[in-house]
Structure 1
């Protein structure tokens, strides 16, 4: 009886560990916090949650986020999608080398300008596996497949940034006095020449005596 209870407890513990491992294997976007109007480098972290390879990852850009450039990732191609206004609305990375294996993860990075207003936005992601199955990371934060969320806080005002730059300029170290150096450099050859001429005259007078 005790053995059965022990085996049952072990099975429950194993199930909990498996669920914990699956729950932690989310597609996430970092950083989780940023500031308004900033040009931020965002990184998409993709772990493999199944026993087969991940071959494709698609991420939708939230409204108000303006993506400008993407960092190339070895072994992966990327393709942007645009909306009717020509804005990048999504990106898809596709493996060219067999995909991401079980127990592996990779990261994709891009640069985007944040919205002007503070708030919270979600990144919808779609993870495709070698068997054609797709995990949609688009749910609420408490769901099994949550979308990654970023909080945008109020950044420094333009006036404050201007004042900081002006203050740095005012407290900058003074430039070296190049005028004095130039004067010294121009005078030194004349002094040396005069001393040599004086020594020559003294030697000449001594010979005559």
Structure 2
């Protein structure tokens, strides 16, 4: 085989892999891909429409173990339905298009807010995408399958900060006292500022002296 044909074959193979990867990645996902234990997070459900001659009419997302969803952002053009448990916790969210839905070349995003459990390791988001011909694609498989569920990796949390992820304010007898290291850092910063000012003054005097001689 000539070098030209070999190069053509390589290029075609790379193009095929690229196109296949693009098709394979076009599935329902939940962002972010990583979060932290014990924090409140805004999750974004991204829904692309893939089938020809039909539209995506609705998508249902099951709230995974390790997450407690408390709010859903309103979405113009879509009706939201919440399924709740006996304990009044949100178990799933379903968005249904009030119009024609999403065509093959379109996608949309839906946002929800919730708290990540303190002991969560990963959040497995199972989603069910319904098309206008009543076909349902179940995004519930393992990673690498034809229809994988989206997974959010949960990193270990820290002991600092409140449940909303912001640093907790401490007052009274428990108020934080500056450490010796903090005081030392402030002193160094002050002396550096004084030194910089002194250098600037010397440079200015030097420039004025040269001008007078000129």
Taking structure 2 as the reference length, the TM-score comes to 0.67
Cα distance between partner residues in 2 of 1:14 and 1:64: 40
Cα distance between partner residues in 1 of 2:157 and 2:62: 24
Cα distance between partner residues in 2 of 1:33 and 1:63: 16
Structure 1: tracts of 5 or more residues without a match: 172-209
Structure 1 partner of 2:49: 48
Structure 1 partner of 2:190: none
Taking structure 1 as the reference length, the TM-score comes to 0.69
TM-aligned CA deviation for residue 14 of structure 1: 7.8
CA shift in 2, pair 1:85/1:131, >3 Å = same
- Deviation per residue, 1:65-111 (Å, 9 max, x gap): 11111001111001000122221110100000110111111000010
Instruction: Tell me which of 74, 77, 80 is aligned to 1:78.
Output: 80
Aligned pairs (5 A) from 1:153-172: 153-157=155-159, 160-161=160-161, 165-166=169-170
Name the one with the larger helix percent.
1
- Deviation per residue, 1:144-183 (Å, 9 max, x gap): 11000011112221xx338874499878xxxxxxxxxxxx
CA shift in 2, pair 1:54/1:154, >3 Å = same
How many pairs does the alignment contain? 165
Is 1:69 matched up with 2:58? no
Structure 1 partner of 2:100: 98
Structure 1 partner of 2:34: 33
Cα distance between partner residues in 2 of 1:64 and 1:138: 17
**Which segment drifts farther, 161-170 or 37-46?**
161-170
4+ long deviations beyond 2 Å: 9-22, 160-171
CA shift in 2, pair 1:81/1:165, >3 Å = same
Cα distance between partner residues in 2 of 1:48 and 1:32: 21
Structure 2: tracts of 5 or more residues without a match: 179-214
TM-aligned CA deviation for residue 126 of structure 1: 0.5
RMSD: 2.8
Cα distance between partner residues in 2 of 1:26 and 1:100: 14
